[in-house]
């Protein structure tokens, strides 16, 4: 009986550490990087959504990893795990981008927006953006990083 209790204490301690870290991070992000109460409320709520998405992603990856053990081909397992990791990464980046754009919109609506803090390029006299370099789209960044992420995941799972 005591052995089973100690075996359950490990994952429970990890879960408590995850929740504690999320709580502290949520408070820090909501107070340090926001300018208005409305923005703070949005960031505070969205941090819980991001935590839920991360927990669901980890759960799905663990379940998928257990199911993929049934396949005899290591290649199938590696491709499946790489695809799962890429999916989790894509969802995480998408959530981060939504939070970023929504925070910018809230600041514009509350009239607390400062372009210098957001890293915007300076504008020319006619209102056009100065061409300091080609702007990379979000989908282009995802496509460029997909292959590298897949190979990194395969190498990580194939390592002894």
Report which of 46, 82, 84 is spatially closest to residue 64, judged by C-alpha positions.
Answer: 84
Residue 124 in domain: no
Residue 36 in domain: no
What's the pTM value of the predicted model, to 2 decimals?
0.58
What total of structural domains would you count in the chain?
A: 1
Q: Tell me the residue range of the domain where 60 lies.
A: 48-113+137-158
Residue 34 in domain: no
Residue 109 in domain: yes
Residue 151 in domain: yes
User: Residues near 124 by Cβ (< 8 Å), separated by ≥ 6?
Assistant: 130
Each of the 160 residues of the chain gets a pLDDT tens digit; together they read: 556 666 666 666 776 776 777 777 767 766 767 788 888 889 888 888 888 888 888 788 778 777 766 666 777 777 777 888 888 888 888 998 998 899 889 989 998 888 877 765 555 555 555 455 556 677 777 777 888 778 777 777 776 5
């Amino acid at each position: 009986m005591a052995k089973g209790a100690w075996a359950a204490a490990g994952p429970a301690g990890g879960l408590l550490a995850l929740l504690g870290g999320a709580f502290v991070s949520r408070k820090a992000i909501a107070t340090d990087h926001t300018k208005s109460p409305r923005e703070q409320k949005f960031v505070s709520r969205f941090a819980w959504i991001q935590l839920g998405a991360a927990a669901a992603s980890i759960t799905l990856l663990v379940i998928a990893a257990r199911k993929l053990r049934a396949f005899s081909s290591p290649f199938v397992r590696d491709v499946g795990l790489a695809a799962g990791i890429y999916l989790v990464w894509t969802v995480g980046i998408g959530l981060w981008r939504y939070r970023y754009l929504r925070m910018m919109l809230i600041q514009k609506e509350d009239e607390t927006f400062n372009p210098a803090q957001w890293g915007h390029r300076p504008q020319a006299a006619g209102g056009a953006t100065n061409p300091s370099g080609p702007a990379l789209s979000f989908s282009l960044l995802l496509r460029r990083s997909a292959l590298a992420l897949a190979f990194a995941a395969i190498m990580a799972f194939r390592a002894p």
